[in-house]
Amino acid sequence: MQFARLVVPLAAILAMLGGCKKSVNDGVVPTTAAATRTADPFAAHDGIAEATPDSGPRPVMQAQVVLDRLGFTPGVIDGRLGLSTKNAVAGYQEANGMPVTGDLDDATRERLARWNTIPATRVVTIPADFAAGSFVPVPEDPASQAALPALGYASLDEKLAERFHTSVATLRELNPGGTPAGAGSDSSAAGAGVGGMPGPTQESVSTAAPAAGEAPPPPMFRAGQQVRVPNIGNDRIDAAMVKDNADWLTTLRTLGVGTGQPQVGRIVVSKSAGTLKGYDRGGKLVAVYTATMGSEHDPLPLGAWEIKGVARNPKFHYNPDLFWDADAGDQKAMLPPGPNSPVGVVWIDLSKPHYGIHGTPRPETIGRAESHGCLRLTNWDAARLAQMVRPGTDVLFEA
């Protein structure tokens, strides 16, 4: 069951506000080793020769990686030209004055070619501290969720997938048999269907997460293991910018979201396109996210609103009276924070009571499922947006 409304005292929200970051434009600044000497061993280090070359080119995934770095995000990076990737391409085209087709046509590929030196994937080693922790399956009912100390990741596989803005299924494709694609002839052949490469697995392997109540596959990843991952960037973190919120700093690192985000002066949400667009104060489009919004029971509240505040790693006040699909026996409950909270890692409060923009425990459903009227983003996109906005930012919901 998905819950998408939060009741948070405004004072608590205002206590969690953060500043906005530097602007980005039509450019990806490669991340060098010298520029990323941070506490994050997963941080992108562009320009370093790959010790284990990939098994072949992944043109779609490479385009997704670049668009993700630019802020026109494809949601889950999976090497497939789905709705979220088309929205990302269309956003990039719009921001750069190109014909908006949503297709990776010749003109768009030529424009993106300046970043062809950024590979689609890279190989990383899973640190022990990242792999440590309590991984507990999240129960379905609110009362059982409320009894947990946190709604954290159910497995290291899930945590690793969110860190690199992808799915567990895609990580398994990139690491057939637990070995990075390209590390041997067998793994090269097994991974030949990912990321736009020709191969029988391109259409046959599902990237969807297990359905609610369905048992996940056995864990594949462990501390010290080398794994091939999407080469996401824009993950450099200036700890001084979040020095007053250690939990949020941990969240940003866990999600691979840097502190260098653009400042947004206006947000436009399109119900028909299923997108959230962020414009800077000069009117330039700087961010596009695919979002899940509304349903026939809880339609998106069209109109002009504004942001009231931001809650990071929020608790969730579950009130069954606000949900048409609540079970008859449900009681009010306070659910703990965590990436598998019904609102993910962020709640951006709107002037429309009980409505907000927030994360999700199921990123693969973004753009494919309904919400309870609010806007759901992937946790990493919600974490980006939380750094872009401030109280008073205009939000327009249009048909």
Task: Provide the annotated active-site residues.
Answer: 358, 374
CB contact at 8 A, 357 and 375: yes
Residue with tokens 């999700």: 360
Measured distance CA(289)–CA(366) in Å, rounded: 10
Vertex 345: Cα angle to 331 and 237 (nearest 5)? 165
Measured distance CA(300)–CA(292) in Å, rounded: 10
Range list of H helices, 192-347: 201-204, 246-255
- Which residues make beta-bridge pairs with 157? none
CB contact at 8 A, 43 and 235: yes
Cα four-point dihedral sign 206, 207, 212, 213: positive
DSSP 96: T
Q: Which two tokens stand for residue 167?
A: 């799915």
Task: Name which of 210, 73, 234 is nearest 155 in CA terms.
Answer: 210
- Count Cβ atoms below 10 Å from residue 29 Cβ, excluding itself: 13
Angstrom distances, CA of residue 91 to CA of 94, 103, 126, 395: 5, 11, 33, 18
Residues 6+ apart with CB under 8 A from 11: none
Residue with tokens 């899973």: 126
Angstrom distances, CA of residue 62 to CA of 114, 166, 196, 338: 12, 13, 9, 30
Residues in the chain: 399
Measured distance CA(21)–CA(263) in Å, rounded: 6
